[in-house]
Amino acid sequence: MMKILSFNNKEEIKAFFRQKVKELHPDKGGCIEKYLILQNWYKQALEQFRNENKIKISKISDRYVGYGNSFYKTQKFTIKELALGLEKELTLPLKENPCPYCEGSGINKHSLKKTCSYCHGEGILKLVSGNEEVIHNCTFCAGVGYINIERCSHCFGKGKIKEEIPLKIKLPFGLRQGDILCISGETMGVCWNFYIEVEVEPHPFWRLEGDNLICEVKVPFYEILLRDTLEVETLEGIERVPTGYFADGEPVVFTGRGPFLSDESRLRRGDLIVNLKTLFPKTLSLEAETLLYNFKNLIERERLC
Amino acid sequence: MIEDDILKDFLVEAKDGIAKMEEEFIELERDKNNVEILKSLFRTMHSLKGAAGFFGFKSLEGIAHFAEDILSKLRDGVIEASEDIVDILLKCLDEIKFIVAYLEESKTEPLDDRILEFLVNLSKFNDKLKKRIQEEKVEKVESAELKEEIAPKELEERSIGDQTLEEIKPSEAVEKTDLPVKPSPEEISERVKDDKPLPTPGIKELTETHIKVDVRLLDTLMNLAGELVLARNRVVQLANRLSDSDLQRSVQVLSMVTTELQETIMKTRMQPIGVVFNKFPRIVRDLAKSLNKRVNLHLEGTETELDRSIIEAIKDPLTHLVRNSIDHGIEAPEIRAQVGKSPEGNLFLRAYHEGGQVVIEIEDDGKGIDLEKIKRKAVEKGLVSPEEIDRLSEKEILSFIFKSGFSTAEKITQVSGRGVGMDVVKTNIEKLGGSIEINTILRKGTTVRVKIPLTLAIIPALIVTSNEQRYAIPQVNLKEIVSINPQKDILYLGESQFYRLRGEIIPILSLSNILDQNKTQEEHNLLILTTGERYYGLLVDRIYDSEEIVVKPLGKWFKGIPLYSGATIMGDGKLALILDIVGLSKFVGLKAEEVERALEEKQIKTITEETQFILLFDVEDTTLALPLALISRLDKIRGDKIEIVGGKEIILYKNKVIPVIRLENYLPIQGVLPQEEYSVLFFSEREKTCAIICSRIVDTIETSLQVETDLYVQPGILGYRIINNKTVLFLDIYKIIEMYDPEWFTVKSLEREGPTNILLAEDSPFFQNMISNYLTQGGFHVEIAPNGEEALKKLKAGFKPDLIISDIEMPVMDGFEFIKELRSQNEFRDIPVMVLTSLTGEDIRRKVFELGANAYEVKLERERVLSAIEKLLEKKLNRAMVL
């Protein structure tokens, strides 16, 4: 049976299912067992895609930010996370709860109280109507005699508090500095959308440039000649590159080893471009200089030969 | 769905852009080297490309990309705008138009070979251009030396003047190589061979869904609608007088159409506040970055609609407040982490309707405003004297912030703290007829609340009269109208009037009273009004119709009067003032001084902090009360379970013989009549339990233990109080049990020489009685003082107690101060002090011990209190022996 993940969307699964049904349906002379397996697989596949689609994430232009209620934050991402579209845990206000400190009333019950100005703190109103006296529970302070004047300091009197909950999302491909991720609140069950601006965490020797990942390798000049290979950190890990590749001074390009570019064509990737930066000592001892001079002569002589 | 909304917006924008570019191309044909137009064209094309890219409209993006590329070359003066170039640009525009029109219909891009071919052609054309430029360059090299002096300067200007140039360059380099819809090389070569002329795009007109209208035109329309409403009102009145049915009918139609027209015009002016709020993500992000802070922004209530003119005017004040919040409110991440907050600050922008007004809140969870700092600053600036400052309320102190030139920022930052601002913010908001208010909690955050009127220029209102003068009351504030009999229905509390509306007591005002007019007639009509927070009633003479009125602002000489919010012209051409319902509500209730005076006269001992749960129960028709904490158990037993053994009533409960106490035997109340089932309260003390029989349990309430002691002077009763219109007797359970069995509490006590004196400082009569009762039972002599000061007086007068027991919450001098005072005086230093309170909490406990108390007990724990007393006295004895 096909692996579910090799499909990009529901439509493709449906199409595949329909095609297979034509072959396997018992009415068409197919094997019942195989047909049932197909049915089962189809159910699972749809379920899986439903879960995946639950969180709706899209990349949008910042001109379209802020439709309706929204939550906006900037989030740091590493270059690796962006380039490979990894999973990232974000902490987002995904729930709104009644404030636990004031039980949703918005009032600080344990603080300053003002004597109720209607009943003078008695909790009851002794009213006179004609000659009759009517005693009534004070309606302004609900009979307690005082009014809380301080707002709850946890929810600032709103009675509600947004709760921050960690959420794992799979990053779409092709995110760059300043891009904005939009997570639709509808799919998260809240009435605000989430906008997350991408901030790229600076990396000591990587940077994203257009579709490509640029990697700078700093090596002392003599090491280039002495070593057979140089260690280059690629997105997939450390790799050894023959030093000879850098001989003509041009950057070495690893085609298709850069960041993934877009969700539509998952196979397209940018390039990894390795720039070699040579390091050299600021001063040389006399001995080293002599040796180096000899070395230079030797090289030139060899070339002449 | 967001996408749909966004797409719609994109299309509107794209259509605007296309229209603009069309005009500009025409302009360009007239003046081929107009750099300004080229720049503008480039920008429009660039943003179109960007947006298309975000939506993934590849062919649109592709066309826009090439067009932009060509335009950038024209703009930079690398090539001249020759005929063929303008031609191809116009073709681009046609294609873009076609695609956008298609998008609007089907939401996807057209899959058309023609467009693909056009793209290929474009790409070829672009390459051709490049070659042409290179050739020109080679030619120019020789003559370049002459130009060199000017060139660098030009370049510089360009890079400064047009930032988009820089933005675009890096990405350009990449996109050139792999354009989204790049056909395979074979395809290209195939097509090149054919090289047939391209078909022109099918002409498709863009349907206009939006047009731009001059705002002044809308304003004029609005004014005209207002005049129309006034004229209509006049006609309606006239028609009513003539009572011609034909006329009436047509007037009715006129009336309806007018209303609808006016509502529609009003809609053109209303905009969601999101229009302003949407600017803030960017402002907040940039500010936070420049201040090295991390700020999350929450936008709430963005759909709240406001008049366009207000939206415009509110922008700057809001920006200032947001800047303030980020600069002064929210702390740097390190500091936030230190005080246990999350490193990311939260900023809320919230809008909502409240009582005919729009409230905008700017809230941060930063460090709050330090009132002490403001006080210092205010004194420093000479705004207030040091003596006065301590008397000011929090609100008054915060109002200094709005004084011109007042800034507490220690260092002046680029963002805020220049000493101008908050005063300007306040004036601007007040100019709109709004108000501003600050709430702050130190170390927790600040909320700035801006209230703005909707200023619906035309509002429905109820017309009422007082002394033949007409007033308008906005319909939004009106809840209902009641006809009352002033003699019977109005309740009085001193001078204030109240009315009982379905069980709720609401305060009422008389309009003639407030306007200081003589009452000419009884006011029978009561309007129930709401301010959004509270209800109150307004008595008026007569009620007219409900009418749509046109709000006219009041002149500045009326501004200071809180009663009026505007004026309007009535159907007969006369004026009526519009009452400000919120302003009126300030007359409701007693003034603060009045309350204080009343309190002084009555001398009510308010001990609001000391509340207890009280159990209310009935013994036939008498309601009695006991602190719930004294009762160990509540249950019901059947009548036949009560047995008489040895002349005493007992019950068997959980295998134990428990004596039964009938309260009527000790108190002058009617006894419990025989019932099938009785409620029983169990009372336990040192393994001994007794049961009290009652008819039924009424309720438990949380209340302060204030009791009146004058009426019922009776052993076993501590006092009485009116609860829910019923007199409730507070029971002295210890006394009752003692009356039942004098030996009940007797325990082998220490041999003491002479009577032991205890000074009890306690303000509540209830506890005075109860505690002194059980102390007396324990063989102590008790002297009572109602507060710390009285207790000190007693001590100074020569009373020498062996032990002092003090409450904490007391008027005049509280327990803390009393103990401090005691411990600071030599003669009283050695008297043991026990704190007896209903306040529990580790911090209070610690505080009393720090002050020098020797013990700390809770009031209702009789047993523990007694044993603690024994212990204290023993210690004292031991110490005396050692000495």
Residue B167's closest chain A neighbor by CA?
Answer: A210
Residue A19: inside a domain, yes or no? yes
Q: Assess whether B762 and B724 both reside in one domain.
A: no
B24 shares its domain with B99: yes
Q: Do A121 and B724 touch (CB under 8 A)?
A: no
CATH of the domain at B72: 1.20.120.160
Same domain, A73 and A185: yes
As beta bridge partners, residue B462 has B473, B546
Q: Which of B7, B10, B46, B54 to mutate to test the interface with A (most CBs of A within 10 A)?
A: B54
In a domain, B427, yes or no: yes
B205 within domain boundaries? no
| Domain shared by A72 and A196, yes or no | yes
Cα–Cα distances in angstroms (integers) from residue A239 to residues A79, A234, A235, B209, in the given order: 18, 7, 10, 58
Does some domain include residue B751?
no
Interface probe with A: pick from B354, B505, B612, B704, most Cβ of A within 10 Å: B505
Half-sphere exposure of A65 (CA within 13 A, CB side): 28
Within 8 A of A136 by CB-CB distance, chain B residues are: 500, 505, 725
Smallest CA–CA distance, residue B59 to chain A, in Å, is 15
Other CB atoms closer than 10 Å to residue B636's CB: what's the count?
Answer: 10
Looking at the structure, tell me whether residues B696 and B579 fall in a common domain.
Answer: no
Q: Which of A11, A118, A192 to mutate to test the interface with B (most CBs of B within 10 A)?
A: A118
Residues 6+ apart with CB under 8 A from B529: B473, B477, B478, B479, B535, B536, B537, B538, B581, B584, B585
Cβ within 8 Å, pair B302-A58 = no
Length of chain A measured in residues: 305
Secondary structure (DSSP) of A79-114 = HHHHHHT-EEEEEEEEEEEE-TTTTTS-B-TTS-EE
Q: Is residue B102 part of a domain?
A: yes
Phi, psi of B497 (to 5 degrees): -110, 145
Of B296, B447, B604, the CB nearest to A121: B604
Residues B693, B672 contacting (CB under 8 angstroms): yes
Question: What's the CA angle centered on B8, arms B4 and B13, to 5 degrees?
Answer: 145
Q: Is B218 exposed, middle or buried (0-12, 13-18, 19+ CB in 10 A)?
A: middle
The DSSP output letter for B413 is: -
Q: Could you tell me if B811 and B847 lie in one domain?
A: yes
In this structure, what CATH number is given to the domain that contains residue A187?
2.60.260.20
The answer to whether the Cα torsion of A45, A47, A50, A52 is positive or negative is negative
Query: Tokens in use for B629?
Result: 């904490």
User: Cβ contact (<8 Å) for B490 and A129?
Assistant: yes
CA-to-CA dists, residue B810 to B124, B562, B785, B791, angstroms: 94, 41, 11, 11
Maximum Cα–Cα distance for chain B, whole Å? 137
Q: Are B722 and A60 in contact (CB < 8 Å)? A: no
Instruction: Assess contact for A147 and A113: CB atoms under 8 A.
Output: yes
Residue-level pLDDT at B877: 65
Q: Which residues of A touch B592 (CB under 8 A)?
A: 117
For residue A130, give its domain range.
113-148
Q: Give the Cα separation of B422 and B404 in Å (integer).
A: 8
Say if B301 falls within a structural domain.
yes
Q: Å from B618 to nearest chain A CA? A: 21
Query: Does A105 map to a domain?
Result: no
Span A161-168, mean pLDDT? Answer: 84
Interface of A with B in 179-198 (CB under 8 A): 182, 184, 186, 192-193, 195, 197
In angstroms, the CA B469 to CA B450 distance is 33
Residue pair B699/B876 in contact by the 8 Å Cβ criterion? no
Is residue B449 domain-shared with residue B487, that is, in the same domain?
Answer: no
Instruction: Give the one of A66, A138, A184 whose C-beta lies nearest to B281's C-beta.
Output: A66
Taking an 8 Å cut-off on Cβ atoms, the answer to whether A60 and B298 are in contact is no
What pLDDT, in 10s, does the model give residues A206-232? 988 888 899 998 888 888 888 888 888
Active site residues of B: 46, 68, 324
Element spanning B178, H or E? none
Mean pLDDT of A53-64: 63
Is A126 found in the same domain as A81?
no
Asked, for residue B200, whether it belongs to a domain, the answer is no
B429 and B489 share a domain?
A: no
Own/partner contacts of B150-159, CB < 8 Å, gap of 24 or more, are: B158/B76
Of B777, B779, B769, the closest CA to residue B715 belongs to B769
Contact A66 B302 (CB under 8 A): yes
Which of chain B's residues have a Cβ under 8 Å away from the Cβ of A109?
none
CATH number of the domain encompassing residue B310? 3.30.565.10
> Which secondary-structure segment (H or E) carries A131?
none
CATH number at residue A144: 2.10.230.10
Q: Are residues A170 and A87 in the same domain?
A: yes
Provide, as residue numbers in chain B, all residues whose Cβ is less than 8 Å from the Cβ of A129.
488-492
Among B363, B505, B602, the residue with its CB nearest the CB of A136 is B505
Q: What CATH number is associated with residue B228?
A: 1.10.287
For residue A186, which residues of chain B lie inside 8 Å, CB to CB? 1
Taking the C-alpha atoms of residue A79 and residue A204, their distance in angstroms, rounded to an integer, is 11
> Which residues in chain A have their CB less than 8 angstroms from residue B302's CB?
66-70
Tell me the residue type at B300.
E
What pLDDT is stored for residue A168 in this prediction? 83
Both tokens of B562, joined, read 């809180």
Residues A294 and A214 in one domain: yes
Mutation target among B11, B300, B610 for the A interface, most CBs of A within 10 A: B300
- The three-class DSSP label of residue B148 is coil
- Check CB contact under 8 Å for A145 and B608: yes
Angle, helix A32-54 to helix A10-24, in steps of 10 degrees: 170
Q: Does A212 touch chain B (CB under 8 A)?
A: yes
Residue A215: inside a domain:
yes
Q: Are residues B262 and B286 in the same domain?
A: no
User: Taking CB atoms and an 8 Å cut-off, how many pairs form between chains A and B?
Assistant: 160
- A46 part of contact set with chain B, CB < 8 Å: no
Same domain, A192 and A288: no
Whether B674 and B777 map to the same domain: the answer is no
CATH of the domain at B535: 2.30.30.40
Neighbours of A71 (CB within 10 A): 24
- What's the CA gap between A297 and A165, in Å, rounded? 68
Residue A102 falls within a domain, yes or no? Answer: no
Q: Spell out which residues of chain B touch residue A111, defining contact as CB-CB under 8 Å.
A: none
Residue B602 lies in a domain: no
Same domain, B219 and B163: no
Any B CB within 8 A of A223 CB: no
Within 10 Å of residue B649's Cβ, how many Cβ atoms? Answer: 15
**Within a domain: A127:** yes
Shared-domain flag, residues B46 and B169? yes
Structural domains of chain B, count: 6
Are A66 and A196 contained in the same domain?
yes
Q: Assess if residue A155 is contained within a domain.
A: no
- Asked if residue A153 is part of any domain, the answer here is no
Choose from A53, A56, A61, A269 for mutation: most chain B CBs within 10 A: A61
Give the best-scoring range by mean pLDDT among A64-78, A278-292, B540-554, B832-846: A278-292
The residue type found at B108 is T
pLDDT in tens, B51-97: 787 777 888 888 888 888 888 888 887 777 777 888 888 888 888 88
Yes or no, beta carbons of A156 and B363 under 8 Å apart: yes
Based on C-alpha coordinates, what's the Rg of chain A? 34
Tokens of A155: 């929810």
**C-alpha distance from A128 to closest chain B C-alpha (Å):** 5
Is the confidence at residue A1, as pLDDT, over 60? no
Same domain for A30 and A80, yes or no, is no
| Chain B contacts in chain A segment 123-182 (CB below 8 A) | 123-130, 134-140, 144-146, 151, 153-154, 156-157, 162, 164, 182
Q: How many domains does chain A have?
A: 4
Distance (Å, whole) CA A290 – CA B125: 59
Q: Which helix (H) or strand (E) holds B474?
A: strand B469-474
Secondary structure E strands in B301-390: 305-307, 345-354, 357-364
Residues A133 and A234 in one domain: no
Q: How far apart (Å, rounded) are the C-alpha atoms in residues B53 and B86?
A: 24
Backbone angles phi, psi at A165, to 5 degrees: -130, 135
Answer yes or no: do A210 and B170 touch at CB < 8 A.
yes
Q: Which long-range contacts (CB under 8 A, 24 or more apart) does B432-441 make?
A: B432/B310, B432/B313, B432/B314, B433/B553, B433/B565, B434/B357, B436/B402, B438/B369, B438/B398, B438/B401, B439/A151, B439/A156, B439/A157, B440/B368, B440/B369, B440/B371, B440/B398, B441/A151, B441/A153, B441/A156, B441/B368
pTM, rounded to two decimals: 0.53
Alpha carbon of A2: minimum distance to chain B alpha carbons (Å): 29
Q: Are residues A79 and A19 in the same domain?
A: no
- Residue B453's nearest CA partner among B356, B548, B529 is B356
Q: Which of B273, B277, B291, B298 to mutate to test the interface with A (most CBs of A within 10 A)?
A: B298
Residue B276 distance to chain A (closest CA, Å): 10
For B506, which residue in chain A has the nearest alpha carbon?
A: A139
Between B173, B344, B500, which is nearest A73 by CB? Answer: B344
Number of neighbouring beta carbons within 10 Å of residue B661: 22
Nearest CB to B300 within list A69, A113, A154: A69
The CA distance from A237 to the nearest CA of chain B, in Å, is: 25
| In a domain? residue A104 | no
Please give the Cα distance from B598 to B426 (Å, whole number). 37
Q: Of A69, A122, A212, which has the smallest distance from its Cβ to B299's Cβ?
A: A69
Residue of A nearest to B5 (CA): A67
List of residues 6+ apart from B690 with CB closer than 8 A: B658, B659, B660, B661, B682, B683, B737, B740, B744
Same domain, A212 and A289: yes
Q: Which amino acid is at A54?
A: K
What residue in B sits closest to A92 (Cα-Cα)?
Answer: B296
Which portions of chain B are predicted below pLDDT 70?
1-3, 5, 137-209, 355-356, 404-420, 433, 454-458, 494, 503, 519-521, 532-533, 555-556, 559-560, 589-611, 686, 704-705, 709-713, 745-755, 839-841, 876-883
CB-based contact, A72 to chain B, within 8 Å: yes
Q: Are residues B255 and B357 in the same domain?
A: no
> Same structural domain for residues B562 and B634?
no
User: Phi, psi at residue B822, to the nearest 5°?
Assistant: -60, -50
Rounded to a whole number of angstroms, the distance from the CA of B591 to the nearest CA of chain A is 8
The H helix count followed by the E strand count for chain B is 28, 34
Residue-range definition of the domain harbouring residue B378: 274-453
Same-domain status, A233 and A271 = yes
Last residue in a domain, options B715, B740, B765: B740
